Structure 1
Amino acid sequence: MEQLFFSGTQSLFRTLLVGVLAYVTLVVFLRISGKRTLSKMNAFDLVVTVALGSTLATVLLTKDLALADGALAFALLIGLQFIVTWSSVRVRWVRKVVTGEPLMLLHQGALLPSALRRARVTEDEIRAAVRTAGLASLSDVEAVVLETDGSFSVIRQSEGNPSALIGVRDPAGEAQQANRDES
Structure 2
Amino acid sequence: MDNPIFFDDWAGIGRILITGVLAYAALIVMLRTSGKRTLSKFNAFDFIVTICLGSMLSSIIITKSVPLLEGVVALALLIALQFAMTWLSVRWEPLEKLIKSEPKILVHRGVYQDKAMRAERVTREEITAALHANGHGDMPASCSVVLETDGALNVFKAVSR
Pair in the same fold by TM > 0.5: yes
Q: Counterpart of 1:87 in 2: which secondary structure?
A: helix
1:97 and 2:98 equivalent? yes
For residue 21 of structure 1, what is the amino acid of its counterpart?
Answer: L
Which has the larger displacement, 6-15 or 75-84?
A: 6-15
Determine if contact 1:140/1:157 at 8 Å carries over to the other structure: no
C-alpha deviations, 1:120-152, integer Å up to 9, x for none? 111121122223223344234342110110001
Q: Which consecutive residues of structure 2, in runs of 5 or more, have no partner in the other structure?
A: none
Note the 1:103-142 alignment, pairs <5 A: 103-142=104-143
CA distance in 2, matches of 1:30, 1:78: 8
Aligned residues: 160
CA distance in 2, matches of 1:29, 1:104: 37
The two structures have a TM-score, normalised by structure 2, of 0.91
The two structures have a TM-score, normalised by structure 1, of 0.80
Residue 89 (structure 2) aligns with: 88
Determine if contact 1:52/1:77 at 8 Å carries over to the other structure: yes
Q: Counterpart of 1:134 in 2: which secondary structure?
A: coil
- CA RMSD, 1 decimal: 1.7
Q: How has the CA–CA distance of structure 1 residues 9 and 108 changed in structure 2, closer, same or farther, with 3 Å as cutoff?
A: same
Determine if contact 1:110/1:139 at 8 Å carries over to the other structure: no
Residue 69 (structure 1) aligns with: 70
Residue 154 (structure 2) aligns with: 153
Identity percentage of aligned residues: 45
* Residue 3 (structure 1) shift: 4.9
Q: How has the CA–CA distance of structure 1 residues 2 and 74 changed in structure 2, closer, same or farther, with 3 Å as cutoff?
A: closer
Q: Counterpart of 2:4 in 1: which secondary structure?
A: helix
* Residue 114 (structure 1) shift: 1.1
Determine if contact 1:142/1:158 at 8 Å carries over to the other structure: no
